[in-house]
Structure 1
């Protein structure tokens, strides 16, 4: 499977993996933010998104393989000493799973991640009677196990590497108590930034300067020791 991707080498020895959300593609504004601050950036379209191959998204299950491919690519490039990761929505959830499994990822920013895939499915299926049937057929057709896409369960395994949880405290984030569940499940070092009246993945749009200061400052501290 081929993934469409874009890469810019670092000026400071550190590359940030950039993982987008469901039904989206590489976020150019986030990419530019890192590059403008001297970081290398590697952004790709997940399978079945954008210019990448694939016919089905599993919202984090098989997408972990895409992260591992990106991680292998990053470390094969010259001048790369450190790798951090930024993810949004599905990308954030996938990176929590992948960072727990790959100690080479030294620091993670998770923006608008969901606590578990089951939470997302139940949130979007208000008729409880149908929920077990939809989950069964989703697992059957995809070959994925819904219980294995559970960022809340594994985020604690990332420690002693740092995690920064960001979310807009509106809509589904409130209904799932998403940012606080993830923050409470994580171990130190950890940070959280949740804003009222901000929609899903809306923190950067609402507070671009503050977002850049916080996120770049996080990676400066944990990847560069500044």
Structure 2
């Protein structure tokens, strides 16, 4: 009798470990792709932000019948050559106002509005009150040297170079600094480092660059706050520009400046909120000669454009009140 032996069929191996492995690989690839994309996009945007396209100098003060001379001087550190204009007072005077433009700007202050004439009108207004007026291009702006913009970190050396140039021209000079946005913040910082500066007018400054960008960088980057802002600020900005955002702090610099300060800001500013000027004012209002003037409706740095007569009265009143 033959015995039939039946083979027991082999049970298939469970596929779960293999499936888990595939899912893990797919997830890892997805994460890596996401990280690479975030860093790549952040690199491109950071590079664009620190190397903004230059705007041309389309007009000269002759457009408003104002006599001027071309000037060139070196940044206090680094040796970059900076270009600008000097509009001397009709009568010999030792009162000088150095103007500092904003991010992506030029010595014309508002170069994209009516081909720069509002800036020229500002020069003419200041000149008509007997002031020597200096306007120049920060590094990587207008016709000045340099290829990187650092929103005050290195620009303070440019403004200090402008102060040096004025003092060479007039050792008895009394200097007032006036700036907008980046130029306002830079003016507050530079004033704390040079005793030649007697007073500052800061229109639309940020209080601390790091704090400001952590909240408001999307306004400039046009990217979501997370995850792009930390990657830009903590990784690409230091590598590509050498900028330490923590060290650009007007609110801290003011403690080392004892002259009068006039802060100007629009309550409708959505680029640098008025809370920045309020923070500086509130910190020093009890122990510094500091004033805050706010305007309605105006866009970022444009209070003079919307309220020219009111702005002039405010500005000249501030200067005269402080013997300037």
The residue number in structure 2 matching 1:128 is 226
Secondary structure, aligned partner of 1:164: strand
Output aligned runs, 1:1-226, within 5 Å.
1-10=80-89, 11=91, 12-26=93-107, 27=109, 28-78=120-170, 80-122=172-214, 123-125=216-218, 126-136=224-234, 137-159=236-258, 161-170=259-268, 171-174=270-273, 177-186=275-284, 187-224=287-324
C-alpha deviation, 1:196, in angstroms: 2.5
- Is the 2:151–2:182 contact (alpha carbons within 8 Å) kept by the matching residues of 1? yes
In structure 2, runs of 5+ residues without a counterpart are 1-79, 110-119, 219-223
The residue number in structure 1 matching 2:12 is none
Change (3 A) 1:99 1:216: same
In structure 1, runs of 5+ residues without a counterpart are none
- Is the 2:94–2:170 contact (alpha carbons within 8 Å) kept by the matching residues of 1? no
Between 22-31 and 123-132, the greater mean CA deviation after superposition: 123-132
Question: Which of structures 1 and 2 has the bigger CA Rg?
Answer: 2
Q: How many residues align?
A: 222
Secondary structure, aligned partner of 1:101: coil
Secondary structure, aligned partner of 1:165: strand
TM-score (norm 1): 0.92
Supply the distance in 2 between the matched residues of 1:80 and 1:200 (Cα, whole angstroms): 35
C-alpha deviation, 1:189, in angstroms: 0.6
TM-score (norm 2): 0.65
C-alpha deviation, 1:216, in angstroms: 1.6
Aligned alpha-carbon RMSD (Å): 1.7
C-alpha deviation, 1:157, in angstroms: 2.2
C-alpha deviation, 1:79, in angstroms: 7.5
Change (3 A) 1:32 1:119: farther
C-alpha deviation, 1:4, in angstroms: 1.2
- Is the 1:9–1:39 contact (alpha carbons within 8 Å) kept by the matching residues of 2? yes
Superimposed CA distance per residue, residues 43-99 of structure 1 (whole angstroms, 9 cap, x where no aligned partner): 100000001111000000000111111001111114753111100110000111111
